[in-house]
Amino acid sequence: MPDGGNAEIYDPRKILQDPAFKILKPGEKPSSEANIAAFYNPQHEIHIVEKPRLKPGPGQVLVHVRATGICGSDVHFWQHGRIGDSMIVTDECGSGHESAGEVIEVGPGVSQWKVGDRVAIEAGVPCSKPSCDYCRVGRYNACPDVVFFSTPPYHGTLTRFHLHPADWLHKLPDSVSFEEGSLCEPLAVALAGIERSGLRLGDSVVICGAGPIGLVSLLSARAAGAEPIVITDLFQSRLDFAKKLVPGVRTVLIPRGATPKDSAALIKEAAEGSVKLAIECTGVESSVHTAVHSAQFGGKVFIIGVGKNEQLFPFMHLSANEIDVSFQYRYANQYPKAIRLVAGGLINLKPLVTHRFTLEDAVAAFHVAADPTQGAIKVQIQD
Ligand SMILES: NC(=O)c1ccc[n+]([C@@H]2O[C@H](COP(=O)([O-])OP(=O)(O)OC[C@H]3O[C@@H](n4cnc5c(N)ncnc54)[C@H](O)[C@@H]3O)[C@@H](O)[C@H]2O)c1
Ligand SMILES: OC[C@H](O)C(O)[C@@H](O)CO
Ligand SMILES: [Zn+2]
Ligand SMILES: [Zn+2]
Ligand 1 atom with least separation from CA of 331: 3
- 3-class DSSP state of 140: helix
Helix locations, 102-175, DSSP H: 133-136
Cα separation, 255 vs 380, whole angstroms = 31
Q: What is the pLDDT of residue 4?
A: 56
Give residue 218 CA to ligand 3 midpoint distance, Å. Answer: 17
Q: What is the pLDDT of residue 77?
A: 97
List C-alpha distances in Å: 233 to 42, 90, 210, 257, 327. 31, 34, 6, 13, 20
Give residue 281 CA to ligand 1 midpoint distance, Å. Answer: 5
Q: What is the pLDDT of residue 266?
A: 99
User: Which amino acid is present at 346?
Assistant: L
Q: What is the pLDDT of residue 5?
A: 74
Give residue 111 CA to ligand 2 midpoint distance, Å. Answer: 30
All residue ranges of the chain with pLDDT < 50 are: none
Pocket of ligand 1 (CB under 6 A): 72-73, 189, 208-214, 232-235, 238, 254, 281-284, 286-287, 304-306, 328-330
Burial (0-12, 13-18, 19+ Cβ within 10 Å), 277: buried
Ramachandran bin of 257, using left for φ above 0, alpha for ψ from -120 to 50, beta for the remaining angles: left
| Residue 257 near residue 186 (C-beta atoms within 8 A) | no
Global pTM reads 0.98
Give residue 214 CA to ligand 3 midpoint distance, Å. Answer: 13
Q: What is the pLDDT of residue 292?
A: 98
Ligand 2 atom with least separation from CA of 306: 8
Give residue 125 CA to ligand 4 midpoint distance, Å. Answer: 9
The ligand whose atoms approach the alpha carbon of 306 most closely is 1
Helix locations, the chain, DSSP H: 5-9, 12-17, 72-80, 133-136, 178-197, 212-223, 236-245, 260-271, 285-294, 315-320, 335-343, 362-370
Domains, the chain: 7-175+344-382 (3.90.180.10), 190-327 (3.40.50.720)
Kindly report the protein residue whose alpha carbon is nearest to atom 38 of ligand 1: 211
Give residue 73 CA to ligand 3 midpoint distance, Å. Answer: 6
Pocket of ligand 2 (CB under 6 A): 71, 73, 83, 87, 148, 151, 185, 189, 330
Long-range contacts of 31-35 (CB under 8 A, 24+ apart): 34/160, 35/159, 35/160, 35/161
